[in-house]
Amino acid sequence: MAEMAMQKYDEIVMKLLHYFITEEGYTPIILHGAENEIWLENLKKEHQIVRIVTNYIHNDEQLDFDLYRTKAIMKTIKQKTFSLSLNAINIFLNLGDNVHLDKYEDKHILSLNISTIKELDKNNTIKEEFPNLVKDTNFKEKGLELLMKITNDINKVNNEEAQKAEDVFKKKIPYVTYILIAINVIVFALMYILGDGSENTYTLIKFGALFGPFVKAGEYYRLITSAFLHIGPVHLLMNMYALYIIGSQVENFLGHFKYSIIYFISIITGSLLSLIINTNVVSAGASGAIFGLMGALLYFGYHYRVYLGNALKTQIIPLIALNLLLGFMIPGIDISCHIGGLVGGTLATWAIGVKDKSSAQEKINGWIMLSIFVCFLVYLAFIK
């Protein structure tokens, strides 16, 4: 009887795994020490976690401990994935007769006890979120043939997802970053060849530095040209090093075209906010665009937090915070340009989307938010 029961549970588990992985896009979560249970996640779903439990639970005390442990694991997952909230579906397949699951209520955990998949259709939440669950788990194959089909289908999906991730993370040549660095260096040299050097105010203005009265007089090109000028060799070297390190990563992850769009939008938003705050100050530098790339890296890292969760927490966010802090502490740094670029770059990445991660609705929302932000800056800079 025990062998028959295990075979029954195995078949239900295999069918549920097949459905949630191949039809709903869930991926397995690796948990050390978790026996007789399977965790799946899809952060885009209303219930981001699906947990399938075959472990025998014989009384309410054991169930209490199981639910306590489930909440603790969900808290850890929430922290690692930077999720504000997580909802889970707990599917129990082997509860004892002395277990009273119906008395347990949790707004974030839907717990169900089933002996057949069809029983899931009786729950309104499951029926609304996964209307095809029962139909898509009704296989004509049986026994070994069913096992082979499910295994092959799941492996196919996993291989496709692995290939997508490999395409995103594989090393590519950052052509655009190299071109941008070359332009900045050439312009810097020309300021000495054709002018009186990069620290001369007249030369900076002549080459297109940002200066409020001239921009408002119609020289709008300064919003962009100012990002290709630098004041002194240290300024140039610091920004070009940052552009090489951060730009190469963003271009590698998002592609040449999207990277270029983000870069120039960040230049514009950074220059606009600088224009609003520093009306009569001559300013220049690529730092607004670089902060925009940091915002792009932050947005990308959030969408790929399963892969970059630790880097997001220990590298990307601290890097942004440290640079913003330095901007407030060190005199002469145009912190408004940094903030404008950071926000603009983040919104631009939201608008153009992350491959295989962003939905059409997310991109539309991104374009709406970016448009509102740019229009607001233009209003403050030129109309108010």
Question: 316-323 contacts: CB < 8 A, separation 24 or more?
Answer: 319/294, 320/291, 320/294, 320/295, 323/291, 323/294
Element (H, E) at 50: strand 49-53
CA distances 238 to 181, 198, 231, Å, are 12, 15, 11
CA distances 197 to 188, 212, 230, 283, 337, Å, are 8, 22, 10, 15, 23
324 close to 339: Cβ distance less than 8 angstroms: yes
Which tokens belong to 81? Answer: 């994935």
DSSP state of 40: E
The two beta strands, 37-41 and 27-28, are antiparallel
The Cα 238–Cα 323 span in angstroms is 12
278 close to 223: Cβ distance less than 8 angstroms: no
The Cα 277–Cα 359 span in angstroms is 35
The Cα 285–Cα 210 span in angstroms is 9
Q: What is the set of active-site residues? A: 287, 338
